[in-house]
Structure formats: C-alpha cells, structure tokens
Amino acid sequence: MTGSSAGGSTSGPEPAAFISHSSHDKRLFVRPLVECIADQGVDVWYDEYSMRPGDSLSASIDRGLATAHQGVVVISPAFIETAKQSGWTHYELRGIVSNSIGGSHRRIVPVWLDVTADDVREWSPPLADLLAIDASTKPIEAVALEIVQVIAPSKAGGLQRQRFMQMMRQKGRSAQARLHDLNAAPIVERRTPGSVPLRALLVTQILADCGAEHASDFVGFLEDLARDLHHETELRLWEAIAGSYSLACSTYDLDSAQRLALYKTLVLASFGQADEEAVEVLTPDVAGPVLEHFQTLMSMVRGEAVIGEGGLRGLLMPVEPSDDEAASPAAGDIS
C-alpha cells in the first residue's frame, strides 16, 4: 500500500497534521519521524496508528484529511512516481491542497526527502514554490522539531531535555554520546536580556553534579536556547528543574546514582512522563515530595506570581493561545 499517514486514534483529539508519504519511505524515515513527533506530545494522522483491520482505506484517509489541521507531505522520488500514476499519494495531496485553499491556518508543510527543488518543480511548480524542510541531510530528530514548530508551536522546543531523553534511549551508546552529536535545528542568533545567560549559568552550575555530562555545559545550553522557538519559556522550565533539584539535594542525602536518577525524573516529568527505574533508585519516599514540589514550580513557568508580605502571595495563570492561533505563517501557505 502506498503509505498515507495518519496519526492519533480515530476517536481521539483532532490531529495536528495529516502526514502523506509513500510506503517506500515508511520503514527508514516516516515511521521514526512520526515517533519523534509523538514523543513531543503531538497527535498526527498516520495510517499505522489510526487504521484498524477492516477499516475502509479511502474512508479513513478522507476522515484524516477532514479532521487534520495541516498537511505534512514527505516528497520523495517514490512519492512523486506514485502521484504521477494517480496513486494514493496523488489522492492525499489533492485533499491536502483543497483544505489549504481558503482555510484558516490550514497549510501544507513540504518535506523533501532525496529530491531537489528542480525535481519538485518539474512535477509540481506550486509545491516547489513553498518553503520546505529539506530532510536529505538532517537527522530525523531535527526534521521532527521543525515540523512541530509549524504544526504545534506550543509544544516545540526543549532541545536540551529532548537530547537527554534520546541519550537515555540509546542504552548502549549513552555513555559515549556527546550532546552536540545528537543533532539539532540551526542556531538562531537572537538578542535577549543580559539576565538570560546569567540565569542559564545558575541552572548549569546547580545541575553540574547530577552525573549527566551535558548538564554543566553552559555554552551548549545557550546554543540550545537559541535554537528553541520559545526560549524564555524553556529557560523558566529549566529553572523549575534546577530549583527542585537543588531543594531535593539539600533536603535528602543523595548519592551519585540517586542524583542522576533525580535529574532524569525531573526531566521526564517536564514532558509529563515517568520512569519506574529512576523512581526506584531515587526511592518513592523521595520522588513523591520532589515531584509534588516540581509541579508547584511548573505552575510558575507560564504564569505570573504575586509577591509581597509573607513572600509568595499567589499565581496568575494566563489563558494560553491554541496552536492554530500561535502558528507561524512561515510554512507553506498555498492560498
């Protein structure tokens, strides 16, 4: 079957994007790409996730095209060849283009895989005119991040945290993996208040004894902030991690293994995840209060605090914009 894409379940939330691709590219590129996107908590419509035995292929694709907010099109030689033969990629692309015309915040996100601008232009001049993500020379994780920045900008970012999680997943290689070998989107030079590097220095100094090689890398930390779409929010989140880490280390007598487990527990908690092994090393009696305190600090990440007599008087939590409202117009609008 020519791989169409689908993401979350048919009864779940509306997917952020419909991912159209050729089945030829599924195993080596598209499946790992979708897994990376899902790791950031973004639902996409992907056939292997959304379809069940007995489902109608055309009906499932139509449902995905109708409900997905945007269309990610993985354009490869196999995709183009199938589209020329009026196969499934042609059917999906027609639906994605139709949705993007006149649709509010509906856009096409082209991903070029082993094709050039001339290849795409020869087949489809309108698609060649859209700003695309070139996946031919980038790690899959970097491509996934760029896609998330477009289809779900509120969930984009956290490069330093994502890389630590990737290192944990690379069980056999984690000890040798260097932070800057693990990929990333280009560094964006931006002007920030002078307090940003000072705050970053405090974070890296606090976490320096956790046992994770990259945790004290001040230069790398700033470079990752420069790559992150929401660098201020990301820095606040790291301050919450560092604050919880510092309090736990001053409250409990933790050995080196427990400090690393504490760091891992806090980073995973920032993604809304948990690791039973890390909690076991840390011990539930320590992990419970630490995570409770961390959630309190997390409530300050996007809110405003009221301080006065007695210290912290309260928190003001803003209403966050939806991903559609926050979406950047940089990705290909075909309308």
Which residues are catalytic, by number? 92
Whether the Cβ atoms of residue 87 and residue 126 lie closer than 8 Å to each other:
no
107, 85 contact by CB (below 8 A): no
311-316 and 304-308 strand pairing: antiparallel
159: tokens are: 């490069």
Tell me how crowded residue 214 is: count the other CB atoms within 10 A of its CB: 19
Tokens matching residue 274: 């948990």
Cα separation of 237 and 16, whole Å? 24
Strands 133-134 and 304-308: unpaired
**Distance of alpha carbon 64 from its chain centroid, rounded?**
21
